[in-house]
Amino acid sequence: MSLLELIAAADERGLAVSAVACLDRCLPQPPAGADPDPLHPLRAGCADPALWPDRLARARAALDAGADEEGAAPRIRELLAEAPADRAAPELRAWAEACSLLALEAHLGPDAAPAADAEAARRCRAGDRSGSGPLTAGELRRQIRILELLTETADTPVAGTGLRQALDLSAEGRRVLRAAVSRRARGRE
């Protein structure tokens, strides 16, 4: 299945976790003194829809307090402002799609592929990986695997295991992107 098909088939929990994981991977290295994990409250609220509105407000406040203007941080704040407070709302799917696209676009910048552009990110989500470099392809695989994990564990007693594995994949992706951005910045000096 393509990423878009997986997003279309995901339940509310899968959409919330996938979207937050996408935003988490895009966060730049926090400036000194800023919250090192501003999305933690929101990640913790993905398992329980009743906690979502409060956790969303806390994550928004944490990101606003950091006021980082580098990389994808401004767009992450915009997307958090647009996040539906009601996790059951149909707007959650559109929000998850926007978070997915941001994560792919964030990987295009430091990617080595010369033909990579925003349209390549849209094509990737539909299943056409032409024009995507290794970082973008890795991010696409990560997004697909997270949605698959969440689907596999959706109605099982080990649903928390799927969440943990999704968070682990996301943390790995965040490290990969930050390392690529750092290498690229050093290459320009």
Q: Is the pLDDT of residue 118 over 80?
A: no
Decide if pLDDT at 147 tops 90: yes
Query: Average pLDDT, whole number, for the chain?
Result: 83
Query: Is the confidence at residue 99, as pLDDT, over 90?
Result: yes
For the chain, the domains span: 3-188
Whole-number pLDDT of residue 142: 93
Model's pTM, two decimal places? Answer: 0.87
pLDDT of residue 126: 80
Three-state DSSP at 88 gives coil
- Contact between 25 and 173 (Cβ < 8 Å): yes
Percent of the chain, pLDDT > 70? 87
Strand segments, DSSP code E, in the chain are: none
